[in-house]
Structure 1
Amino acid sequence: MRKSLLILLVTLLSTMGYCAEKVYMDKQGVVRWTENKKEVALFGANYCLPSACDFRAAGYVGGERKQMIVEDLEHFKRMNWDGLRLCFWGDYQNTDREGNLQENEHLHLLDYLIAEADKRDIYMLLSPIVTYNSQWPEMSDTTNTGLAKYYPKNTLIHNEQAIRAQENYMKQLLNHRNPYTGRCLKDEPNILFVELINEPTQFPEDISGMVRYINRMCKAIRSTGCKKLTFYNVSQDFRVAPAIRKSDIQGSTHAWYPSALNNNYSIEGNGLLFVDRYEQMLYPDLRGKAKIVYEFDATDMATGFMLPAMAREFRRGGIQFAAIFSYDMLRTAPMNLGWQTHFFNMVFTPSKAVSSMIAAEVMRRIPRGKHFGYYPDNRTFGDFRVNYDEQLSELNSGDMFYYSNTTSARPKNPVALKHIAGVGSSPVVRYSGTGIYFLDKKDDNTWQLEIYPDIMDIDDPYKMLNKHRVSRKSAYNERNIQIKLPGLETEMTVLPGKYLLSDGKIVSREELPAKDFYQTPMKEWKIANHTWPEFTADKEVTFRCEVFGPKRPQQVDVYLMLKPWGCKRIPMTAEDGFFYTAKADISWLAKGDYEYHFGIDTGDDTILFPEKTYCTPERWDYYEQATYAMRLINETTPLSLLGPQDNWKHIRRTRTFRSPESQFSSVVSGPELLPAFQLSVPDLEKKEDYIAPCDVTFSHYIGDRIACRSKSKTAPAYIRIRAYGLNNTDKAICNFVDKEGRGYGAAFNLKAEASDILIPVSDLVPTKAAMLPQDWPGVNPYWYPASAQENNGIALDWKIIDFVQVSLREELYNIGNQKNKGVVVERIDLLFR
């Protein structure tokens, strides 16, 4: 009876606003749990369904929004996440001009999300003022009623009416009672932190004005009785760190997008070089106050090795909460409908999902302030490993073995293992599917196996979002799995689902909650061609592709078109995932250009690609149509590194931000008016406010082309550049950057008209190389650190070259001759002896 009364009393006190805070900040600025005084270390993601574009995206797929919240938070818990950022567009969608709180579906969904997160022991950061238009990207709706409609972002800190509206809104939101929990938001125990304003316009020239604003907002929060820890953004402009130190705010918030934003295509290359250091977190003005990361992501990268490396650096900087931006709702993930440059979902980005689980453990296991050195020394740290070549991150500890891609590493102690999460295969699990899977030990004889659907990587998810364009598709396929664990050795054929295994046998099976959604079949057949465009004539040719469709094909073939007519059909062999390969001896073919098709036998007919016709070259009614192309070459055939075939929009270039202004564009050049690449800069003279060197560069990924020649015994002898200078520009730099960030370059002379310039490979010397794209918010150095060393002592190895760069640089021109520089490059080739 007394116990029941005590529970009732605690419940009543909670609803009346007497809820004790679960965390506090000590005198050193460390956030600790009130219950046991241990340090807080939380990891999760932003989740934006209640507001803005995610709210509308849920409508585009006809989703029941509350059900979607439950589905997605179940994924949070399945990945063992414990953090969530409530990014709420209340300043646009839930207030009037004076900041009065407006109750509508957005607020109701926020309440529901908080309640569901609370049920799952997920802890929250509340960010109620976003500052970016809630109608992005459509920008077609004019229903915004909020204060942000009337007060532009750059007025929020100084305009008295705007400040009063924000104070009013903050007070009313914190005093709002959540109907699903019975508590006011200020008393929700799992809301630990409140961020005053998301990515404000910063005023480093007016620190005192910023302090006044911060203190007024803190006072408004405290006036409600709210005792949550308060935070203010510093990463929009690190020069405002003194405002953090001088104000009443309790901590700073940070963001990191190491590969920039909205590149519109998947970024390639060694991203570990971009997450090597975040020195700004160690600024003296930030000491003694807490630090959290409100947003981060390996933008435009769906790889599985970046997030743990970022979490490693966060721990070095003292971060105690980190939230990926942003979690894609299960129902919208196939189209990546939420945020174009971000793409993350447990099911549809399986490698990135496992890497996030590893990153969460980095937050928990790596001590705050621990430094593991710089790349490449920091690729192994504690129980963790990240590897660009293997596209892998890995946690290998006593009880856990997580891997984001196929690994050859063996668990440290197989007998002690309790939790496995993976994509691909390992020495303890051999799996032929492409989805994420989990193995969790229940007792000495029982394990639970949880397998999610195969994922078909159909299109680049980082193109402009469109509700009709599917980039990832799930497939309910039977797959083979072999498990080799102490007490559990078995091989079986499985469908997606949850299996209870005992003594190597299936005891029970249950379906995944969203089975019907995962099982929706593709309506058409598609092929992703992974065959190299060039082969040395005396080598074996390997054709490789992925086949996606409504079902498994009965047979896949290559049709190699012969000259002057005819074809050779080459059967392909099914491999893991959706891959098919065929190896062919082509030594009997003459050098030159060849065409080929892939043919899919569906059981009903044969579909010929790339045109998707029902017409194979062996049939009498075959007609000429589009084909795939390849070249048979000898080892001395020139290799094109840059030319008219390349999309200038996919070439990285220097960003103008407190650095020389630059322009990069596509132009037409030569008598044939072919596309060329123009880089220009009005002024390369150093200015007082510059934080980057006086350099402008464009950088083109060529790692895949170099790979085509990687087995050649003939080394390049010359670089041939066809180019000309603009406005008497007589010099530029050509640089080659390897996967470790080392640069090898040479200056070359330009004429006013296009000409071929030959640079002997022997003239290439260690040269500074620009790290492109430049990250946001400007954390990384401009030069790759390895390239900035005076002499790296390592010879150029063409097999690991990833980029070719062209630069206009201050040091090339005399003082007084640094204005109006430009170069037009028509093509760059490698020549062989």
Structure 2
Amino acid sequence: MAYANTEYQTHFLNLAYTPGKAISMKIAAEVAQSVRKGDSFGSYPADTLFKDFRVSYSQDLSELNRPTAFFYSNNTQTQPVAPRELQAVAGCGSSPVVSYEGTGAYFLDKLEEGVWRLEVMPDAVQVSDPFAKPSLKKEVVAVISRAWDMKLSVPDLSERFSAQALNAGNTRSFTATNGTLSNLTPGVYLLVRKDTKPSDDWTAEKRWKNIKLGEFVAPAEKKCDSYRMVNDTPKIYEAGKELTLKVQLAGWEQPDSLIVYTDQISFWNEHNPYKKMTRKQGAIYEVTVPAAEMKEGVFRYNIVAFNKGKRQTFPGGMEGTPLDWDYIGDQYWETRVVNPSAEISLVAPSVSSQWNGVEQYTVPQEGGACFLRKYIRDEVAGRESKLQQVQYLCVQLKGKVNGVEAGFITSDGFTYKAKGNTSQEGILRLPLSALQQTATTLLPHAYPVFLDKQFKPTTNIPFEVQQIESLEVSHLTENLVLEKAWIE
């Protein structure tokens, strides 16, 4: 059921479906065994680097780096502290030890000098929100067995070694070239350095630690001819600047091509311009839209996957292309293109808070405090030039309210706010220079209930508008209605 995450909706942890989180859990187990009760590593953010460990929110990364072990949950450029002493590597993505385009987890364990066990899990691609309303009919992560090259930079293996598959049903036997295993598929492999004669008989049935050497478990393959596509293109962008369209494609094989069509094409046109996407890494494809085409308004487009005579159009995944005479799809991906000098809209007017993305919380303090919060990174990600010029945060509430606090939570988890009174029209205009670092209220409330309800920083870090991630508006007693918010 992990493919649909139909269990408890605050959790989603599985080696096959959430490989990065699983590696992080493996690292957390090492933390639990090596950190003693009462150990102190300073105050946040200094304590994100402690003993052999490192945690980074911005890089979505946790690391263990000690002489005999190197674990990482995402791409990292960290060098292992003692490459020649390594006994175990576990990771996702690429590192100075493993270069890999797949998205599944992998494990590399030393059995003896020049002999290693390599286990590679299938790719995992998140295709929908795992914390939305669950259904066994809705796939949230696609697990796909794909073949990718893997380059190993392990001194004990050198650059030339053999690889023999050990898991059931996998009979492949091949040799690495310059440390690279070509077209490596998920499974378990015995790696033996050239001119090395193992001192033990490392067969699939041999017991090693608490498993058999060839033991391999992965979700059953659900092959299908269709693709799933995840779009990582900014939803808001500035006119007159090149826009990079970026998508991740989940499928059992690479397509023949990915073609981008705008909403200006038609079956009846003699000429219909298009753009061909290029594979950048793994299943990531990109193409650049010239600055001259990025004009104020809405840039709408489809992406069509072509493969072996079949055509599938996204979003929606409909069969066919927008140029077919009988194509009935009416869905487009959209990027709103704005004037570079225009204000940055954070909350747009809406008939309901359910449509503007604002979450409301009540904190049981004296009288009950009201907090309104919205994740705004998508609103500012494509406005880099304007973000460097803004000076004021403006919020519009329903009615006149005195003593309103408003500000931002940054990607580091720090909160910066200022207090003021709204005008008769309900508008509060705060200079960004007036925002002060304050406690961050933990919302939703932590459980168990005896846990702290606030994070109170002890390190003073200056406010940087480029780091804003969430908007927050609060009041000690009033129930607030946020109608609009922007920075100018």
CA distance change for structure 1 residues 777 and 710 in 2, over 3 Å: closer, same or farther?
farther
Shift of 1:718: 2.6
Partner SS state of residue 298, structure 2? strand
Counterpart CA distance in 1 for 2:121 and 2:248 is: 20
2:337 paired with 1:632: yes
Check whether the contact 1:561–1:567 (CA below 8 A) recurs between aligned residues: no
| Aligned with 2:23 (options 354, 358, 364) | 354
Counterpart CA distance in 1 for 2:420 and 2:265 is: 42
Check whether the contact 1:574–1:581 (CA below 8 A) recurs between aligned residues: yes
| Aligned with 1:743 (options 399, 402, 415) | 415
Shift of 1:478: 0.7
Question: Which residue does the alignment assign to 2:220?
Answer: 518
Question: Which residue does the alignment assign to 1:797?
Answer: 464
CA distance change for structure 1 residues 724 and 341 in 2, over 3 Å: closer, same or farther?
same
CA distance change for structure 1 residues 508 and 396 in 2, over 3 Å: closer, same or farther?
same
Question: Which residue does the alignment assign to 1:785?
Answer: 456
Q: Which moved more, 1:533-542 or 1:439-448?
A: 533-542
Check whether the contact 2:407–2:416 (CA below 8 A) recurs between aligned residues: yes
CA distance change for structure 1 residues 653 and 621 in 2, over 3 Å: closer, same or farther?
closer
| Aligned with 2:240 (options 538, 542, 546) | 538
Counterpart CA distance in 2 for 1:650 and 1:825 is: 11
| Aligned with 1:491 (options 160, 177, 180) | 180
Counterpart CA distance in 2 for 1:340 and 1:368 is: 31
Question: Which residue does the alignment assign to 2:171?
Answer: none
The answer to which structure has the higher strand fraction is: 2
2:361 maps to a residue whose letter is: T
Question: Which residue does the alignment assign to 1:761?
Answer: 432
Check whether the contact 1:553–1:602 (CA below 8 A) recurs between aligned residues: yes
Task: State TM-score, norm by structure 1.
Answer: 0.50
1:571 maps to a residue whose letter is: K
Once the two structures are superposed, residues 206-258 of structure 1 have per-residue CA deviations (whole angstroms, 9 ceiling, x without a partner) of: xxxxxxxxxxxxxxxxxxxxxxxxxxxxxxxxxxxxxxxxxxxxxxxxxxxxx
Once the two structures are superposed, residues 127-180 of structure 1 have per-residue CA deviations (whole angstroms, 9 ceiling, x without a partner) of: xxxxxxxxxxxxxxxxxxxxxxxxxxxxxxxxxxxxxxxxxxxxxxxxxxxxxx
What pairs with 1:601-620 in structure 2 (closer than 5 Å)?
Answer: 601-618=306-323
Counterpart CA distance in 1 for 2:238 and 2:289 is: 13
2:481 paired with 1:827: no
CA distance change for structure 1 residues 588 and 513 in 2, over 3 Å: closer, same or farther?
closer
Task: State TM-score, norm by structure 2.
Answer: 0.83
Question: Which residue does the alignment assign to 2:170?
Answer: none
Question: Which residue does the alignment assign to 1:776?
Answer: 447
Counterpart CA distance in 2 for 1:505 and 1:613 is: 54
2:54 paired with 1:385: yes
2:447 maps to a residue whose letter is: W
Counterpart CA distance in 1 for 2:378 and 2:337 is: 17
Partner SS state of residue 33, structure 2? helix
2:405 paired with 1:733: yes
1:717 maps to a residue whose letter is: Q
Question: Which residue does the alignment assign to 1:10?
Answer: none
RMSD (Å), alpha carbons: 2.9
CA distance change for structure 1 residues 553 and 796 in 2, over 3 Å: closer, same or farther?
same
Counterpart CA distance in 2 for 1:711 and 1:453 is: 40
What pairs with 1:159-558 in structure 2 (closer than 5 Å)?
Answer: 332-488=1-157, 489=159, 490-492=179-181, 493-503=183-193, 513-514=216-217, 517-522=219-224, 524-558=226-260
Check whether the contact 2:142–2:250 (CA below 8 A) recurs between aligned residues: no
Number of equivalenced pairs: 449
Counterpart CA distance in 2 for 1:644 and 1:524 is: 38
Once the two structures are superposed, residues 343-363 of structure 1 have per-residue CA deviations (whole angstroms, 9 ceiling, x without a partner) of: 111221111111111111112
Question: Which residue does the alignment assign to 2:369?
Answer: 695
Check whether the contact 1:730–1:750 (CA below 8 A) recurs between aligned residues: yes
Question: Which residue does the alignment assign to 1:574?
Answer: 279
CA distance change for structure 1 residues 508 and 702 in 2, over 3 Å: closer, same or farther?
farther
Once the two structures are superposed, residues 710-762 of structure 1 have per-residue CA deviations (whole angstroms, 9 ceiling, x without a partner) of: 3557421332322223xx7444221212223333323333467x544433334
Check whether the contact 1:745–1:765 (CA below 8 A) recurs between aligned residues: yes
Structure of greater Rg: 1
Q: Which runs of 5+ in 1 are unaligned?
A: 1-331, 661-683, 686-693, 810-817
Counterpart CA distance in 2 for 1:587 and 1:563 is: 18
1:491 maps to a residue whose letter is: T
Partner SS state of residue 378, structure 1? helix
Once the two structures are superposed, residues 584-624 of structure 1 have per-residue CA deviations (whole angstroms, 9 ceiling, x without a partner) of: 32225432222111111122222111243344345565667
Q: Which moved more, 1:699-708 or 1:644-653?
A: 644-653
Shift of 1:374: 2.1
Partner SS state of residue 333, structure 1? coil
Partner SS state of residue 343, structure 1? coil
Partner SS state of residue 344, structure 1? coil
| Aligned with 1:584 (options 286, 289, 307) | 289
CA distance change for structure 1 residues 568 and 782 in 2, over 3 Å: closer, same or farther?
farther
Counterpart CA distance in 1 for 2:299 and 2:47 is: 45
CA distance change for structure 1 residues 481 and 530 in 2, over 3 Å: closer, same or farther?
same
CA distance change for structure 1 residues 512 and 705 in 2, over 3 Å: closer, same or farther?
farther
Check whether the contact 2:372–2:480 (CA below 8 A) recurs between aligned residues: no
Identity within the alignment, %: 28
2:361 paired with 1:654: yes
Counterpart CA distance in 2 for 1:636 and 1:770 is: 33
The answer to which structure has the higher helix fraction is: 1
Once the two structures are superposed, residues 531-555 of structure 1 have per-residue CA deviations (whole angstroms, 9 ceiling, x without a partner) of: 1012222322110112223543221
CA distance change for structure 1 residues 563 and 576 in 2, over 3 Å: closer, same or farther?
closer
Check whether the contact 2:322–2:329 (CA below 8 A) recurs between aligned residues: no
Once the two structures are superposed, residues 262-295 of structure 1 have per-residue CA deviations (whole angstroms, 9 ceiling, x without a partner) of: xxxxxxxxxxxxxxxxxxxxxxxxxxxxxxxxxx
1:387 maps to a residue whose letter is: S
